[in-house]
Amino acid sequence: MSDEQKRWLEPLGPAESALARGLFLLDRAIMKSLFRLRVKGLENLPKERPFVVTPNHLSYLDPFAVAAALGYRRLRQTHWAGSMNVAFGNPLTRFVSWLAQAVPVESDRSGVSSLAFGAAALERGKSLIWFAEGQRSHSGELQLFKPGVGLLLDHFRVPVVPVSISGTYEAMPPGNALVQPKKITVVFGEPLNVDDLDRQGEGDRPQDRIVQALRGHVAKLGDR
């Protein structure tokens, strides 16, 4: 992990925390009023940290929906993995990502970078939100998961919570800058044991079996 990435893991100061809380309240107000956000399964989140949260990825609205669903107190104990090109592409998005406690991950080094970042976050007792598809789905269908989350979970076998997001694709699909006031639902599944995922999945390597089985759980959650 680079010195730049380590800097993003440092806790926010009092002024930055106050600003982050204000942005969260604005986000939650928008999600509840404009998108009629509905949240299911929050009781499934482990009481003890750390754990990993793996939502599907349909739209730029997804992180805002997950943040509003989780609540501010949980978010302060959570880090995000953010795309270097998207979440950190300009000074404004870098600033917002910093307040959200995101860390920049380079897409061409996703395996190594995610493992290093995940290790640092989990070792600090923080939970981690990781969009395992690596990019938004342009069809609305669940894509294959990238190997980074499998590498991470193979080394740090903490509970992993599958998450299904629906409605964000209709509200703001990839390639569309206009937002439609569609209903958004975020469903948190029951926490999964990585050893079980390792046994359930197919593949020659543990990380392959883990991501294959984890994707299946996210897909089933979306079919409910």
Protein fold of 14-223: Glycerol-3-phosphate (1)-acyltransferase (3.40.1130)
φ, ψ at 112 (rounded to 5°): -65, -45
Residue 104: the pLDDT is 77
167, 198 in Cβ contact below 8 A?
no
62, 168 in Cβ contact below 8 A?
yes
What would the pLDDT profile of 154-204 be if each residue is shown by its tens digit?
Answer: 999 999 999 999 999 999 999 998 999 999 999 999 999 999 999 999 999
> Is the pLDDT at 116 greater than 90, yes or no?
no
Does the global pTM surpass 0.75? yes
Mean pLDDT of 100-129: 78
Residue 8: the pLDDT is 80
State the pLDDT confidence band at 117, using cuts at 50, 70 and 90: confident
Residue 114: the pLDDT is 59
Asked, as a colleague might, if the bond just before 50 is cis with ω within 30 of 0, I would say: yes
> Is the pLDDT at 6 greater than 60, yes or no?
yes
If one compares 188 and 121, the residue with the highest pLDDT of the two is 188
Residue 207: the pLDDT is 94
State the pLDDT confidence band at 113, using cuts at 50, 70 and 90: low
Rounded Cα distance, 32 and 183, in Å? 9
What would the pLDDT profile of 74-95 be if each residue is shown by its tens digit?
Answer: 999 999 987 777 887 888 988 9
214, 54 in Cβ contact below 8 A?
yes
* Domain boundaries of the chain, sorted by first residue: 14-223
> Is the pLDDT at 107 greater than 70, yes or no?
no
Residue 223: the pLDDT is 79
> Is the pLDDT at 54 greater than 80, yes or no?
yes
